[in-house]
Amino acid sequence: MKVLICQNHAAAIERTAGLIVDHVARRPDAVLGLATGGTMLPLYERLATLYSEGEVSFANVTSFNLDEYVGIAPAHPASYHSYMKEVLFSHVDIGESRTHLPLGNSPDVQAEAERYEAAIAAAGGLSLQLLGIGQNGHIGFNEPTSSLGSRTRIKTLTESTRTANRQYFGPDETPPAYAITMGVGTILAARECLLLATGRAKAQAVAAMIEGPVSAVCPASALQLHPHATIVLDREASGDLR
Ligand code: F6R
């Protein structure tokens, strides 16, 4: 596990964007696993700028997002489909047919999860998986106690994750209770993993991920087992490391 501690938030974003640009430069047909959430917003904004400046092209890249809410249509404003379109896909040259997210409103979500896992394998597997981390140590929507060998499946979201996500739904809407998410095993099968964590609120989870025991209690700690995992932190997120 390589841990890069950056001076500040802007430097952490720049470093992570640089690592993604380098990966795509080395491998223009990269298969990128992508994450959503607040941490990724400035990163995707930076990647869009680098694209507009001619520093990177996503024309031959294929993407698979980590997760999507169950019961939410792709066109719903709080869906991860909408998020990705709004913050990245509509700003870069990736073809829509090359972008993939689980279909949260599929009539058979179990079959959809299996189809998604098979689609990743059919694309040759993920060359780089981008990750954020939840305050409880989740990656994707693999909440604490998720099996470290798990593959794409349906997960019940914890109350704390639902509370954190409430802001993205209308006052009359109930935030989804379930998501389709790549499993920890799916993530570990990526050839490279790149996790970005910023801000004081992530410090405890970051310390558990890097210095704690490898345990399903902190699913992100499974990255200790990955041969090519890079963790990019700002000073605040690194604050609880020994
Ligand atoms: C979402 C995902 C989640 C987030 C995590 C952190 O696709 O993978 O694991 O990365 O919940 O979210 P933020 O960045 O909003 O704190």
Whole-number pLDDT of residue 164 = 82
Residue 209 resides in a domain: no
What are the tens digits of pLDDT across the range 110-141? 999 999 999 999 999 999 999 999 999 999 99
What are the tens digits of pLDDT across the range 197-207? 999 999 999 99
In 34-70, which positions are buried (b, 16+ CB within 10 angstroms) versus exposed (e)? bbbbebbebbbebbbebbeeeebebeebbbbbbbbbb
Window from 59-68, 156-165, 195-204 with minimum mean pLDDT: 156-165
Residue 161 predicted with pLDDT over 90:
no
* Cβ of residue 39 lying under 6 Å from some atom of ligand 1: yes
Residue 238 resides in a domain: no
> Could you tell me the pLDDT band of residue 103, with boundaries at 50, 70 and 90?
very high
Window from 7-11, 57-61, 70-74, 158-162 with minimum mean pLDDT: 158-162
Residue 212 resides in a domain: no
Please give the distance, rounded to the nearest whole angstrom, from the Cα atom of residue 131 to the centre of ligand 1.
7
Residue 147 resides in a domain: yes
Residue 240 resides in a domain: no
The 8-class DSSP code of residue 176 comes to P
For residues 227-238, average pLDDT: 98
Whole-number pLDDT of residue 156 = 95
Q: Which atom of ligand 1 is nearest to the CA of 35?
A: 7
- The answer to whether residue 228 is catalytic is no
Residue 206 resides in a domain: no
Please report, for the domain that includes residue 171, its CATH number.
3.40.50.1360
CA distances from 197 to 76, 82, 124, 232 (A): 27, 23, 28, 6
Whole-number pLDDT of residue 172 = 92
> Could you tell me the pLDDT band of residue 160, with boundaries at 50, 70 and 90?
confident
For residues 17-33, average pLDDT: 98
Percent of the chain with pLDDT over 90: 95
Residue 228 predicted with pLDDT over 90:
yes
Q: Count structural domains, the chain.
A: 1
Inter-residue contact 176 to 68 (CB < 8 Å): no
Average pLDDT, the chain: 97
Please give the distance, rounded to the nearest whole angstrom, from the Cα atom of residue 135 to the centre of ligand 1.
9
DSSP 32-80: EEE--STTHHHHHHHHHHHHHTTS---TT-EEEESEEETT--TTSTTSH
φ/ψ of residue 154, rounded to 5? -90, 135
Whole-number pLDDT of residue 200 = 98
Whole-number pLDDT of residue 165 = 84
Question: Residue 127 sits in which domain range?
Answer: 2-194+226-231
Residue 219 resides in a domain: no
Residue 36 predicted with pLDDT over 90:
yes
Please give the distance, rounded to the nearest whole angstrom, from the Cα atom of residue 35 to the centre of ligand 1.
7
Inter-residue contact 218 to 138 (CB < 8 Å): no
* Cβ of residue 35 lying under 6 Å from some atom of ligand 1: yes
Which of 16, 133, 167, 195 gets mutated to test ligand 1 (max ligand atoms within 8 A of its CB)? 133
Inter-residue contact 238 to 202 (CB < 8 Å): no
Q: Which atom of ligand 1 is nearest to the CA of 40?
A: 14
For residues 91-99, average pLDDT: 98
- ipTM for this model: 0.99
Please pick, among 138, 192, 226, 236, the residue that the annotation labels catalytic.
138
Which of 32, 66, 200 gets mutated to test ligand 1 (max ligand atoms within 8 A of its CB)? 66
Residue 215 resides in a domain: no
